[in-house]
Amino acid sequence: MAALTPPAPSETELGADDLPTALLRTDGPVVWFPVRHHSPAAARIVVDLARAIAPAAILIEGPSDFDPKLAELDKDHELPIAIFSHVRTADGSRLGAYYPFCIYSPEWQAFRVAHELGAAVSFIDLPWADVASVGAASHRWADSEMRSSRFVAALCRRFGVEGYDELWDALFEMERDEDLDVATYLRRCHGLCWEARRRDPPSPSDARREAFMAARIRETLAAGPDGPVLVVTGGYHSSALLARLQDEDALEPARVTLRPPEEGEERGIALTPYSYERLDGLIGYDAGMPSPGFYDRAWRSASPTDDETSAPPLHRELLSSVAGVLREKGRPISAADLIAAETMIAGLATLRGHPRPWRRDLEDGVASALIKEERRPAGDGRDHPLIDAVRAVMRGAARGRLAPDAERPPLVADVNEALEAHDLAPGRAPRTVDLDLHRPEDRPRSRLLHRLAILEIVGFRRVGGTDLTSRRDGGRIVERWNIAWSPDLDASLIEASRWGSTLPGAVGARLADRASRIERDAEAAATLLLAAALAGIDGGAEGAGAAGPGVDPIAIGPVRDALLACIRDDGQFGRLAAALGHLLYLYRWDEVLGTAGGDEPGALLAETWTRCLWMLESVGAGETERRVVVGVQAILATFERAGEALALDADELVASCARVVAAAAATPLLRGACVGILWTIRRASPDAVIALLRELAGLPDRLGEALGGIFATAREAVRREAGLLEAIDGAIARWDDAQFLRALPAMRLAFTFFTPREKHHLVLTLRELDARRRRGDRAAPADEAASGDRTDEAPLAALVVSAEEAAASLAFEADLFAAAARFGIRGATEAEA
């Protein structure tokens, strides 16, 4: 809860005693109007001042490169909207910035009143592209200088408020209109900003911007305006601009501040819809005030229309809205609780010396009167449901919309044309689109939707279908998409224009940007290549290209280069092996996406396979068992499926696997998998496999791990080799109960590589081998013992308990017989036998 608020600071405490008098004059050639961006008080007073002095020109802190499009602001938009400026720098970085307008923004009201009065109007700040390279904030109308000011922090401590937002409210927003006239506002705001600036010098970026703005003001004055010039900027800049105008030498740097675009640099600027959710400082916006919905209502209550003259007080209107939100969520508030909350809100405002209940009074009053239990904010940013409802109301739900005739970037028209051509344009009613990528007519539609997903265009969401990343479902490649119109669709398209003016170009640039952020992670880079393939790349497969607007092949050079760098630099076998699996899919099986047999996927696949072989001998305990198994399987599958086409070196594969098998320090899982590869490609006999099993026979848990590796890479060979099954059976038969139970988890995991039918045949084979051994017969030939076509199979009794229960029963039985043997109970020895 906010502390009790002492009387408002005096003009002396705000630093107004030694202010330059020119800042306070309203009758000079230049009138300096300081603002806090998105302040209703500043918006109201700038209109009053402009109407009083009738300026010839109004100069506003804003991107000067939007001046040729100023007429766009005068169209029939629904606020909030923003100027969106973006730049592609010479090094390929894509940066963007916003200049938001809402109904109570001083800049917006200054623009509107300029048209009302017939005054010239212009933006005077540096273009975004000229400051983008110096780490400027993405929201240009920020309060960062004032929020970080030591003077502001001292004032907050002195007057018992929690931060700059509450200090500004106390000085300006809560004052009634009759108590905050133009002169009072100028003294307070200029004094506050003057003192803050004296204690905290500006950044080089701010100094450069101020030099440019001062030069623009000087140009306007030199043109001989027929009346005063009203300069509307952030209060932090006003005194510096005045000083630069008074000092000719200070204007010299301004003449060289604008730089021409560098080679390869692209710039763009346009209007875009905005929303109060994005504007709200409480959820991350770094410019202006929190709770835009609250200040919107405060603005409208201070300037009521004929229909609003009998509206209830602001806090009562907001409390009623909070009750409505809670009622919709199934948490209605009783009339008695509403009365208690309103009483508490009014009482807090009086206790704090507020002229009227304000934003923090409302939140604290609801919390104090209505929350009966302990208040424990959630870790995900949510608070108590009552407080969340209050903040939702004060945030507001307004979403802007551009006028139908507003100019939009070329990308918007390109996307809309493609959506219409492929019957994917969103309507008011949501719809589901099912696609089968084996149908040629569905492939362009799928590629278009994947391109919109890469650009994060609102309203297009994949909700089901084949997962090509895991490739577990196999079969036909199908997709399900939800398409629904959203009020944010226009904004997301306009903001995506930073990536390019056409859809293929924008997607290619977005992929390149994502690729540039991947460092030494081959799996992430290969996954990005897979996403690019879904969006349609030129893989070189005949007949695989998609036709139609918006689906021309995407250039993937940067993605390929990033993947190649990651393949060479990534030091984790698991990630390299996952990349190998993705590339093998694209090269060998991806006929639908058009990359099968392509030169680029093939070259990347060969490079990754060689790198995985090189890493194979250094695989350690840090890799999970599953990643090791999947990786070794990918090495084998690549050699089997693409070895001949890519001229993969079989001798290199054999040498690497042989060294791993011979390395006692390697994990049993990896040794088993490598000997399985050698057996599968016919470079090792079953005797080599049996030799490894005999080496590990005295270590039951390790033998189980080795079997897991063998089964992973030589499953088919194992099924048809009765001698190996007999060796496994013999090793297990020599274990005591404790050894068997220790090996059981690894053994169970190893046999999961077989299908239920295959396991059934293995059990039958083992049962027959045991019967022949008891009779003294020779072992059955491999084709007779392990064939999947046996016709004399006796059914096996079904296990009526789970495997876990069976293992627990075996452990209990072993302990029971051991205890019986210790006490000489009859039958224990026979049971063990």
- pLDDT tens-digit series, residues 532-581: 999 988 654 443 444 456 678 888 889 999 999 999 999 899 999 999 99
Determine the Cα–Cα distance for residues 655 and 371; give it in Å rounded to an integer. 72
Greatest Cα-to-Cα distance within the chain, rounded to the nearest angstrom = 121
Name the band, by pLDDT with cuts 50, 70 and 90, for residue 817. Answer: low
Q: Apex CA 284: angle with CA 283 and CA 288, to 5°?
A: 100
- Name the DSSP letter for residue 588: I
pLDDT at position 548: 54
| Beta partners for residue 122, in sequence order | 59
The residues, ordered by sequence, that sit 6+ positions from 504 with a Cβ below 8 Å of its Cβ are 451, 550, 551, 552, 553, 554, 555
CB 478 within 8 A of CB 437: yes
Q: What percent of the chain has pLDDT over 90?
A: 47
If pLDDT is split at 50, 70 and 90, which confidence band does 237 have? very high
| pLDDT band, residue 387 (cuts 50/70/90) | confident
Q: How many CB atoms lie within 10 A of CB 675?
A: 27
Spatial distance between the Cα atoms of 331 and 387, rounded to a whole number of angstroms: 13
pLDDT at 549: 62
Give first-to-last CA distance, the chain, whole Å.
78
Q: What angle in degrees, to the nearest 10, is found between the helix axes of 182-199 and 235-246?
A: 80
Instruction: Give the pLDDT score at 219.
Output: 94
Q: Are 695 and 736 in contact (CB under 8 A)?
A: no
pTM: 0.79
**CA atoms of 670 and 672, how far apart (whole Å):** 5
Per-residue pLDDT tens digits for 275-300: 998 888 645 445 456 899 999 999 98
Cα dihedral angle (668, 669, 674, 680), rounded to 10 degrees?
120
The predicted model gives 673-694 an average pLDDT of 91
pLDDT over 70 at 502, yes or no: yes
pLDDT at residue 106 tops 60: yes
Range with the lowest mean pLDDT among 645-659, 660-674, 704-718, 755-769?
A: 755-769
> Cα 235 vs. chain centroid, distance in angstroms?
35
- Look up residue 619 and give its amino acid: V
- Are the beta carbons of 127 and 63 closer than 8 angstroms? yes
String of DSSP letters for 41-56: HHHHHHHHHHHHH--S
Helix axes 522-535, 573-584, angle to 10 degrees: 20
> How far apart (Å, rounded) are the C-alpha atoms in residues 162 and 155?
10
| φ, ψ (nearest 5 deg) of residue 623 | -85, 140
For the cut 90, the answer to whether the pLDDT of residue 457 exceeds it is yes
Cα 787–Cα 791–Cα 793 angle in degrees, nearest 5: 85
Least confident of 48-57, 477-486, 595-604: 595-604
- Cα-only R_g, the chain: 37
Among 454, 480, 451, residue whose Cα is nearest residue 466: 480
